[in-house]
Each structure stands twice: as structure tokens, then as C-alpha cells.
């Protein structure tokens, strides 16, 4: 058995649940965007789904390597209706922010407990999350500039391919 602090192990398992649920949300938003006719934005959002899964699997693999039981999360159904593409991307940004906040809390806990190995595992996730949040902010800004101009929305969508 590992000597990992039980609170860190519990929080890592919670992080897996949070990230897989957010990944599933991104996949759902991808499908909705494609159905709306924004295939480029849908592909871009699906790519975020893959990014989230990749990071989450690194945490899962780390727990297994440490011989810590992995608690597989229940994936919550996505029940979300949106009024406009900016509304959809706002929700995605909010969820990305929750992931970033949770990783920051986990890193703080690792530092308090002097668990430097786990802290190093989480550091690439912080960078990835900050980049995702920044990109989502850019997308939101650009979508708001497009307004209801169909030509601008089509050009924007094409830019995300």
C-alpha cells in the first residue's frame, strides 16, 4: 500500500470525477454545436473533450501506480439548453474554471503535505487549464463580436477548424 496522504488520494479521486464530468459536458456541447451547424466549433470542443480525458487518465494512472484505489465516477447526464453560441461557450468556460480551481486547491494541499511527486503530476494540468480558459475567453469575445451576423458566425466557425 502507498504512503500517500488519504486526503490527497480522496481529492485526486474527486478530481477524476470532476474532470470526466466536464469532459462529457464538452463532448455533449460538441454534438450540440455540430447539430446547430457549427462543425468547426463542434470539432474544437470535441478536441477539448480529448484533452480533458487525457489529463484525467494521467491522474488515474498515477493513483494505480501508487496502489491507491480508484473510485470511478458516475457521469452526470448533461441537461443543458443554450440560447446562443456565446451562452454555450460561457458554460464551457465556467466548467473549465472549476477544474482549474480544484487543481489549485489540490496543489496547495500537496504543498502542505510535502507531496512533491503529486504536485508535479498536477502542474501540467494547471498550464493546460489556464490555456484552455484563455482560449475559451477569446472564443467568447469573438462570438460576441459576431453577434447575430450569420456571415461572421460562419467565418468564425471556419476559423476553429
Residue 52 domain flag: yes
Query: Structural domain of residue 123, as residue ranges?
Result: 6-159
Q: Which of 90, 8, 95, 117 is nearest to 51 (CA)?
A: 95
Number of domains in the chain: 1
Domain harbouring 25, CATH code: 1.20.1260.10
pLDDT digit string (tens) for the chain, length 161 residues: 468 999 999 999 999 999 999 999 999 999 999 999 999 999 999 999 999 999 999 999 999 999 999 999 999 888 777 888 899 999 999 999 999 999 999 999 999 999 999 999 999 999 999 999 999 999 999 999 998 888 999 899 999 98
* pTM of structure: 0.91
Residue 1 domain flag: no
Residue 119 domain flag: yes
Residue 64 domain flag: yes
Alpha carbon distances (Å) from 11 to 14, 130, 160: 5, 20, 34
Residue 76 domain flag: yes
Amino acid at each position: 500500500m502507498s504512503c500517500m496522504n488519504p486526503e490527497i488520494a480522496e481529492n485526486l479521486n474527486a478530481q477524476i470525477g470532476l474532470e470526466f464530468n466536464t469532459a462529457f459536458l464538452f463532448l455533449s456541447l460538441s454534438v450540440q454545436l455540430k447539430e446547430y451547424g457549427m462543425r468547426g466549433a463542434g470539432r474544437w470542443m470535441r478536441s477539448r473533450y480529448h484533452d480533458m480525458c487525457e489529463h484525467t487518465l494521467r491522474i488515474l494512472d498515477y493513483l494505480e501506480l501508487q496502489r491507491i484505489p480508484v473510485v470511478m465516477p458516475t457521469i452526470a447526464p448533461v441537461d443543458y439548453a443554450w440560447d446562443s453560441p456565446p451562452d454555450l461557450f460561457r458554460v464551457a468556460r465556467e466548467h473549465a474554471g472549476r477544474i482549474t480551481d480544484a487543481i489549485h486547491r489540490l496543489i496547495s494541499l500537496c504543498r502542505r503535505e510535502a507531496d512533491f511527486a503529486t504536485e508535479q503530476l498536477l502542474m501540467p494540468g494547471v498550464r493546460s487549464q489556464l490555456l484552455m480558459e484563455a482560449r475559451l475567453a477569446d472564443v467568447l469575445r469573438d462570438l460576441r463580436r459576431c453577434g447575430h451576423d450569420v456571415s461572421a458566425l460562419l467565418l468564425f466557425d471556419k476559423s476553429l477548424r
